[in-house]
């Protein structure tokens, strides 16, 4: 079997985990948690990092800290992993879904701007959806597959309309827009370290921000808002969201290898683009010159998605279609979806992600390509 995207455990993971076990520091109070936060913040160029048990919890914390509630809307791209939309709903906010660009598969900023100009109003320096009179409190761009939209333009749009930007940077550790790392444009950004991400802690996430007060409050909230550990005094409703030391230890070891992982992902991406270029109707995700992506998970577009997927499965090669668009899920069918040609539907119906593990062999890469080519 050739897997889709396995973690690569080949550094100091065993050494650091053993240190946790030998010393008994396995829970959230250990030194590896702080070290992982610092390593992640330093790599991304953010001032502060706050570890959470997973990326979804990190997104929930960021929205909670912004005071988002049932009177608010949050704008989310229609093509994303469901965690983005779920995090909005956890705060009781109502999501608004924006279709994605036909080429880059990121949030369509033309649509976003047109929507905000024509369907919202400003009251006391805040943006309200005219049809509901609810405040549009935040925009959550999702850097799908490690690619990025025009972040300068997005920030201009958000600032013009007085809307926070919280970046779902779950898939984009090691991705840059004009040299600035993903997750550092908005008021906060969140990375994920699930088993299939470019680095992993098994499960885990980190909130990054340049705002010291947000960083302090995120850490406070993630530890049940505990003020005094001896008397168990808590000053507000908190969450049990803190990453544990033994998983952070894996993260520290993974961060040490991250530059090599990114280099390998770029090699995989370049190989697939070269070998599949001109094959049938295959098209690739567009990456504009301003973006330096981490090339996390190679995905291509083809009208033969079902046939290619079946052929790969027959040859024990793991592949997957894109996520189901948010507006097609039963809990979101009634929510506002801004689109013209419904690129999301087309992309979902025709895109396929293929093996991109850091430790994939050249022979396996060639086997994947040969299998795909046999379908055309």
Q: What is the pLDDT of residue 228?
A: 87
Domain 258-373 is found in CATH 3.50.30.50:
no
pLDDT above 90 (res 230): no
Q: What is the pLDDT of residue 229?
A: 80
> What is the Cα–Cα distance from 247 to 284, expressed in whole angstroms?
35
Q: Are 95 and 332 in contact (CB under 8 A)?
A: yes
In this predicted model, what pLDDT tens digit does every residue of 355-373 receive, in sequence order?
Answer: 999 999 999 999 999 999 9
Q: Look at residues 190, 213, 204, 232 and name the one whose alpha carbon lies nearest to residue 28.
A: 204
Q: Cα angle at 175 between 169 and 176, to 5 degrees?
A: 110
Percentage of the chain exceeding pLDDT 70: 100
**The pairing of beta strand 205-209 with beta strand 48-52:** antiparallel
* Mean pLDDT in residue range 51-64: 98
In this predicted model, what pLDDT tens digit does every residue of 10-36 receive, in sequence order?
Answer: 999 999 999 999 999 999 889 999 999
In this predicted model, what pLDDT tens digit does every residue of 290-314 receive, in sequence order?
Answer: 999 999 999 999 999 999 999 999 9
* Mean pLDDT in residue range 321-348: 97
SS3 labels along the chain: CECCCCCCCCCCHHHHHHHHHHHCCCCCCCHHHHHHHHHHHHHHCCCEEEEECCHHHHHHHHHHHCCCCCCEEEEEECCCCCHHHHHHHHCCCEEEEECECCCCCCECHHHHHHHHHHHEEEECCEEEECCCCCEEEEECCECHHHCCCCHHHHHHHHHHCCCEEEEECCCCCCCEECCEECCCCCCEEEEECECCCCCCCECCEEEEECCHHHHHHHHHHHECCEEECCCCEECCCCCECCCCHHHHHHHHHHHHHHHHHHHHHHHHHHHHHHHHCCCCCCEECCCCCCEECCCCCCEEECCCHHHHHHHHHHCCECCEECCCCHHHCCCCCCCCEECCCCHHHHHHHHEEECCCCCCCCHHHHHHHHHHHHCCC
Task: Kindly state the tokens that stand for 252.
Answer: 């520290």
* Mean pLDDT in residue range 280-285: 98
Percentage of the chain exceeding pLDDT 90: 98
CATH class of 13-255: alpha beta
The mean predicted confidence, pLDDT, of the chain is 97
Q: Are 199 and 49 in contact (CB under 8 A)?
A: no
> What ranges do the domains of the chain cover?
13-255, 258-373
In this predicted model, what pLDDT tens digit does every residue of 133-143 receive, in sequence order?
Answer: 999 999 999 99
């Amino acid at each position: 079997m050739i897997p889709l995207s396995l973690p690569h455990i080949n550094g100091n993971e065993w050494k650091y985990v053993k240190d946790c076990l030998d010393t008994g520091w396995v829970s959230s109070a250990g030194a590896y948690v702080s070290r992982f936060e610092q390593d992640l913040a330093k790599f991304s160029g953010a001032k502060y990092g706050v570890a959470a048990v997973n990326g979804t919890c990190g997104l929930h914390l960021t929205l909670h800290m912004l005071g988002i509630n049932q009177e608010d809307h949050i704008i989310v791209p229609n093509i994303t992993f469901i965690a983005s939309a779920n995090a909005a709903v956890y705060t009781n906010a109502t999501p608004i879904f924006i279709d994605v660009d036909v080429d880059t598969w990121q949030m369509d900023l033309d649509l976003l701007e047109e929507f905000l100009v024509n369907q919202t109003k400003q009251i006391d320096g805040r943006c309200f959806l005219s049809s509901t009179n609810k405040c549009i409190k935040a925009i959550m761009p999702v850097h799908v597959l490690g690619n990025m939209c025009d972040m300068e333009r997005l920030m201009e749009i958000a600032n013009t309309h007085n809307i926070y930007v919280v970046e779902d940077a779950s898939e984009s550790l090691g991705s840059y827009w004009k040299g600035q790392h993903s997750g550092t444009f908005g008021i906060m950004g969140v990375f994920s370290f699930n088993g299939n991400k470019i680095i992993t802690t098994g499960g885990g996430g980190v909130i990054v921000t340049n705002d010291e007060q947000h960083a302090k409050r995120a850490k406070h909230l993630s530890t049940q808002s505990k003020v005094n550990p001896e008397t168990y005094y808590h000053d507000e409703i908190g969450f049990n969201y803190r990453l544990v030391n033994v998983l952070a230890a894996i993260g520290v070891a993974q961060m040490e290898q991250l530059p090599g992982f990114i280099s390998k992902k770029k090699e995989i991406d370049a190989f697939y683009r070269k070998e599949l270029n001109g094959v049938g109707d295959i098209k690739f995700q567009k990456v504009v010159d301003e973006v330096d992506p981490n090339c996390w998970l190679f995905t291509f577009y083809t009208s033969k998605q079902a046939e290619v997927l079946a052929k790969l499965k027959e040859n024990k090669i793991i592949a997957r279609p894109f996520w189901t668009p948010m507006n097609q899920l039963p809990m979101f069918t009634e929510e506002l979806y801004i689109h013209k040609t419904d690129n999301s539907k087309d992309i979902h119906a025709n895109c396929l992600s293929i093996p991109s593990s850091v430790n994939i062999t050249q022979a396996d890469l060639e086997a994947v390509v040969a299998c795909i080519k046999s379908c055309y």
